[in-house]
């Protein structure tokens, strides 16, 4: 474990560019550059990190989705003119250059709930079979006191002992008629 | 020992415990400050923010993200200012994204609020040549991506 950590740490140190400037911020930005390539950093995003996430609560990510390739650059030049001259295809291409998925796409239902419920029910049915197996092969039979006549005898004894005579079971028993109060 | 502690504690709490002379302008109270901004002031603040002449794309995105943190659907006049700001910084995608985000912000009342907002925005949209997400076919999913949580 410790050896793995040391190896990982060494690898992280070795991969820092050798000619990185001394200032921490400049070093970080050059590392960030290796992650995001030539993509423009265009905003704050949701936490200030230059990362792309499609989120409904922070609709504007920090970087553009596509790197500025030559055809994207050409579209950007055309974008500076009147937007009425853009065709629908060009408009969609411009959107896809800045953003990965539309709201309708990243909020589309995945149907994952079906597999979740299905797998859960498989485990539940397995547990029921295990219960019956234990019942059949492991547990001893229920004690005598669970039989119908034993439980009736127990109730009779509770009534004879006048258990809970004010609000409970004996208060509902009519001792003169020897039956439940109507 | 206890006496030293008590004396020190007393000197620390003295300032907090003795009632201050109430100033006419500032009365200090031990409670969080509440915003006294009215809805109109809020709308005007954001409208003025987006109407600034020297606004850039960074600030538009920051303004939208901040505005989206509030429990409200933005007034059409704020959105008009934001769309015009998008036109000034030449970012078409941003304008479409704002419209999409408004539709999402309407929540369960999307059937009532979204048509009203589009109706209010229609003159601006035609003036600037912005297509609604519906005109671009963005109201239905057209690109399916595997979730990043399922790739590996």
Rg over alpha carbons for chain A, rounded to the nearest Å, is 37
Judge whether B142 lies within some domain: no
Cα A128 to chain centroid distance, Å, stands at 27
Cross-strand partners of A8? none
Stretch A43-66: mean pLDDT: 93
Give every residue of chain B whose pLDDT is below 50, as ranges: none
Range of the domain at B49: 39-128
In chain A, what residues touch B61 (CB-CB under 8 Å)? 42-44, 60
B67: closest chain A residue by CA: A58
Report the C-alpha gap between B23 and B1 in whole angstroms.
39
Cross-strand partners of A180? A173
Residue A118 in tokens? 């299905």
Report the C-alpha gap between B89 and A153 in whole angstroms.
90
Task: Indicate which of A83, A97, A105 best probes the interface with B, i.e. most B CBs within 10 Å of its own CB.
Answer: A83
Residue spans of beta strands (DSSP E) within A35-153:
none
Q: Calculate the average pLDDT of chain A.
A: 87
In chain B, what residues touch A49 (CB-CB under 8 Å)? none
Q: Among residues 38-97 of chain B, which lie with CB inside 8 Å of chain A?
A: 57-58, 60-62, 64-65, 68-69, 87, 90-94, 96-97
**Is the Cβ of B21 closer than 8 Å to some Cβ of chain A?**
no
CATH number of the domain residue B92 falls in: 1.25.40.40
Cβ neighbours for B140, distance < 8 A, ≥ 6 positions apart:
A104
Other C-beta atoms closer than 10 Å to the C-beta of A128 total: 9
Which of B61, B128, B129 lies closest to A60 in CB terms? B61
> How many domains does chain B divide into?
1
A88: closest chain B residue by CA: B136
Judge whether B17 lies within some domain: no
**Cβ atoms B138, A95 nearer than 8 A:** yes
Of A33-37, A80-84, B20-24, B47-51, minimum mean pLDDT range: B20-24
A-to-B residue pairs, Cβ atoms closer than 8 angstroms: 105
Stretch A21-42: mean pLDDT: 73
In chain A, what residues touch B92 (CB-CB under 8 Å)? 79, 83, 86, 91, 94-95
| C-alpha closest to that of B81 among B121, B118, B112, B115 | B121
**Cβ atoms B105, B82 nearer than 8 A:** no
| C-alpha closest to that of B74 among B88, B63, B84 | B63
pLDDT of A111 above 70: yes
In chain A, what residues touch B57 (CB-CB under 8 Å)? 42-43
A92: closest chain B residue by CA: B136
Q: What is the pLDDT of residues A15-31, one digit of tens each?
A: 554 444 444 455 557 88
This model of the complex carries an ipTM of: 0.74
Judge whether B144 lies within some domain: no
Report the C-alpha gap between B138 and B104 in whole angstroms.
12
B42 burial via Cβ count (<10 Å: 0-12, 13-18, 19+):
middle
Q: What is the pLDDT of residues B14-56, one digit of tens each?
A: 655 555 555 555 556 667 778 788 999 999 999 999 999 999 9
Q: Do B92 and A95 touch (CB under 8 A)?
A: yes
Cα A85 to chain centroid distance, Å, stands at 44
B101: closest chain A residue by CA: A59
Judge whether B79 lies within some domain: yes
Instruction: List chain A domain ranges.
Output: 2-106, 111-139, 144-182
Residues A131-154 as b or e (16 or more Cβ within 10 Å = b): eeeeeeeeeeeeeeeeeeeeeeee
Judge whether B24 lies within some domain: no
pLDDT of A131 above 70: yes
- Residue A60: what are its φ and ψ, rounded to 5°? -105, 105
Report the C-alpha gap between A158 and B127 in whole angstroms.
89
In chain A, what residues touch B127 (CB-CB under 8 Å)? none
Judge whether B50 lies within some domain: yes
């Amino acid at each position: 474990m410790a050896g793995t950590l040391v190896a990982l740490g060494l690898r992280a140190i070795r991969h820092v560019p050798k000619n990185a400037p001394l200032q921490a911020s400049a070093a970080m930005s050059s590392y960030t550059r290796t992650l995001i390539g030539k993509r423009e950093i265009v905003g704050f995003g949701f936490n200030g990190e230059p990362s792309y996430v499609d989120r409904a609560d922070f609709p504007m990510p920090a970087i553009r989705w596509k790197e500025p390739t030559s055809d994207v650059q050409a579209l950007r030049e055309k974008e500076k003119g009147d937007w009425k001259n853009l065709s629908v295809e060009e408009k969609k291409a411009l959107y896809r250059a800045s953003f990965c998925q539309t709201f309708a796409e990243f909020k589309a239902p995945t149907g994952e709930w079906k597999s979740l419920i299905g797998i859960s029910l498989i485990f539940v049915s397995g547990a029921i079979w295990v219960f019956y197996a234990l019942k059949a092969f492991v547990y001893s039979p229920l004690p005598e006191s669970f039989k119908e006549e034993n439980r009736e005898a127990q109730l009779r004894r509770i009534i004879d002992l006048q258990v809970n005579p004010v609000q409970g079971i004996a208060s509902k028993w009519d001792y003169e008629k020897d039956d439940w109060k109507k | 020992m206890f006496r030293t502690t008590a004396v020190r504690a007393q000197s620390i709490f003295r300032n907090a415990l003795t009632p201050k002379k109430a100033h006419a302008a500032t009365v200090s109270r031990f409670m969080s400050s509440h915003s006294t901004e009215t809805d109109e002031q809020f709308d005007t603040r954001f409208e003025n923010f987006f109407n600034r002449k020297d606004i850039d794309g960074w600030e538009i995105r920051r303004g939208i993200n901040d505005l989206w943190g509030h429990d409200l659907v933005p007034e059409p006049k704020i959105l008009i200012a934001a769309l015009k700001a998008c036109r000034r910084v030449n970012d078409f995608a941003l304008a479409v994204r704002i419209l999409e985000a408004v539709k999402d912000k309407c929540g369960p009342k999307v059937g009532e609020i979204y048509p009203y907002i589009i109706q209010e925005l229609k003159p601006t949209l035609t003036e600037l040549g912005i297509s609604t997400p519906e005109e671009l076919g963005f109201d239905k999913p057209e690109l399916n991506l595997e979730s990043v949580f399922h790739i590996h």
